[in-house]
Structure 1
Amino acid sequence: MSGLLAPPVELTSMDNLFSHADDAIPDPAEPGDALDPVIWTVTVPGPVAQAFVGFTEHTHLWWPLETHGVYGAGSYVEFEENFILETADDGRTAIWGTIDDWQPPLSFHAIWHPGTTALWSTEVRVAFRSVAAGTEVRLVHDGWEGAEDPSATRASYTADWPEVLNRFVRFMGGTVPEG
């Protein structure tokens, strides 16, 4: 009977047989291609409640719609119910985001997709806290994996958020450093 048994196979030969499998499945412990959140912090004069209201109820007065809107200059942006909406002067509307966590006057979180479908969305959280100079406004934008082109979307917002937030600072009576 011993003639019917094959010689024992060393485990190293089995490792070689499946050596390509390691290339196909990424190790979840490795960071991979994850994109870091975009984080911007500005300080505006005045109390937290005033900054929150300025940001959420008077957005149409400071948001640079001429460069950062779906319909451009002449449209109107507002927080309405659970949405952030832009309305064109002819009545068309675009949903910029859906608010899923509303904690006035401290923070809000939105699924963010201005000008696109919610299928291609990212996430924006804005938090307000009291500091000696007034109110610190901290914006964290992440969830890049939800964007149609994550790297390009992140790069675009990295460049655009400073202009948007600096407009808010000026609207609230603050000064923006040169450069």
Structure 2
Amino acid sequence: MDPLPPIVAEATVPLPPRTAFLAFTAHMGEWWDPVLSPDPATFTGVDIDPDGEVALRHGGSRHVWGEVTTWDPPSAYAQTFWLGHTPDHPTTLSVTFRAAAEGTHVRLEHGGWTEATAGLREKYTHWDDLMTRYAAHAAR
């Protein structure tokens, strides 16, 4: 099977790259859509350890959904990803931050699709909406 192309979502935000990187990572819990969590009613945030886990916070509990693989402010962030599927077959999120005339162009790629995960790919239709939420948060 040929590898499937990544799902791509992009936004340009009116911030310099370092601030755009921090808005994406350190503030992810402020723009992430709680509906895309295991229990939207108890969603309280996102924890990102630059040297380890990425987890959704639900009250006092955590739901780990990836591990950071690249932490290179202000230009790149990447992680393994298994929100909505098992960690046995993670996919990848790669995000780049590039200076642009209007601020920073942010490109998210959800890739790493294999035979084991190809059937899941069609359910990941939310990245454009999440990038819109991120851009709105960054513009505040």
What's the TM-score once normalised by structure 1's chain length? Answer: 0.71
Aligned to 2:33: 64
Q: 8 Å contact 2:10–2:128 — kept in the other structure?
A: no
Alpha carbons of structure 1 residues 73 and 134: separation in structure 2 relative to 1, 3 Å: farther
- The 4+ residue runs of structure 1 with deviation greater than 3 A are none
> How many residues are paired up?
138
Structure 1 residue matching 2:4: 3-state secondary structure: coil
Aligned to 2:73: 104
Aligned partner (choices 88, 96, 108) of residue 139 of structure 1: 108
Q: 8 Å contact 1:45–1:173 — kept in the other structure?
A: yes
Q: How do residues 31-70 of structure 1 correspond to structure 2 at under 5 angstroms?
A: 32-65=1-34, 67-70=35-38
Structure 2 residue matching 1:109: 3-state secondary structure: strand
CA distance in 2, matches of 1:165, 1:69: 16
Q: Which has the higher strand share?
A: 2
Structure 1 residue matching 2:114: 3-state secondary structure: helix
Q: Percent identity?
A: 30
Name structure 1 gaps, 5 residues minimum: 1-31, 175-179
Name structure 2 gaps, 5 residues minimum: none
What's the TM-score once normalised by structure 2's chain length? Answer: 0.89
Q: 8 Å contact 1:58–1:78 — kept in the other structure?
A: no
Q: 8 Å contact 1:109–1:125 — kept in the other structure?
A: yes
Pairwise CA distance, 1:103: 0.6
Which one has a bigger Cα radius of gyration? 1
Q: 8 Å contact 1:99–1:110 — kept in the other structure?
A: yes
